Amino acid sequence: MTEPDPRALDELFTRLLHTEDDVLAATREAADAAGMPRIEVSAQHAKLLSLLATATGAASVLEIGTLAGYSTIALARGVGPAGRVVTLEYDAAHADVATSNLDRAGVLDRVEIIVGAALDSLPRLAARENSFDFFFIDADKENNSAYVDWAVRLATPGALIVVDNIARMGRVLDPAPDDLQARAVHDMFVMMGGHPRLDTAAIQTVGTKGWDGFAVARVLPDE
């Protein structure tokens, strides 16, 4: 018998659950047309983000890593018309594509895109913002620990932090010295596991993104 294909099963879920509408499909197509890397979240992961934002009653979301705005649209839908999403994107050209996609999706009015290196943008954001209810971290993995630290600083008590791409095809188990991304993810887990304000779970996944996964952490009150 032929081994079942996890990617095909993801496609089945997406078709039967009507997960990816025309707007989201057009967002993927716009990213491809712009020559952007195919590293956006899967349709099912995007839907999960939207459901988590809605279920937790999040009114304010901080996303680190916009790309073409696929996950941003999902998060903006999750917070609803009265909510807001601030998303940080390093590449101005990517931000332009995302702006067009968000406009097509009808959620641009509840999203702010900040262009520049996230570790430069975060201190300025902290100076003007009180807090966020939900965080999605999906950017350069080498700075994951710093991004999580900033999320804790900017979080309301009980906020959720979701970090994408935590399996690195299993390399996080024993990262090679030159595998900077896997080492950074491993170090992030050491940091999260020892953090007094984080209660964290890590989930491995298979599917469209291969052997992947995400971490979900709840930010506890500062005692």
Task: State residue 1's pLDDT score.
Answer: 62
Nearest one of 187, 192, 193 to 142, comparing CA atoms: 187
Distance from C-alpha of 17 to C-alpha of 11, rounded to nearest angstrom: 10
Q: Which CATH number characterizes residue 123's domain? A: 3.40.50.150
Task: State residue 105's pLDDT score.
Answer: 97
β strands within 95-154, DSSP E: 111-115, 132-137
Evaluate whether residue 68 is within a structural domain. yes
Evaluate whether residue 1 is within a structural domain. no
Task: State residue 129's pLDDT score.
Answer: 78
Nearest one of 79, 58, 70 to 104, comparing CA atoms: 70
The DSSP symbol for 13 reads H
Segments forming the whole domain that contains residue 171: 6-219
Torsion sign over Cα 56, 43, 154, 124: negative
Question: Residues with Cβ < 8 Å from 166, sequence gap 6 or more?
Answer: 172, 185, 189, 202, 212, 213, 214, 215
pLDDT values of the chain reduced to their tens digit, one per residue, 223 residues: 677 889 999 999 999 999 999 999 999 999 999 999 999 999 999 999 999 999 999 999 999 999 999 999 999 999 999 999 999 999 999 999 999 999 999 999 999 999 999 999 999 999 987 799 999 999 999 999 999 999 999 999 999 999 999 998 889 999 999 999 999 999 999 999 999 999 999 999 999 888 999 999 999 998 7
**How many structural domains compose the chain?**
1
Evaluate whether residue 212 is within a structural domain. yes
Evaluate whether residue 45 is within a structural domain. yes
Task: State residue 3's pLDDT score.
Answer: 77
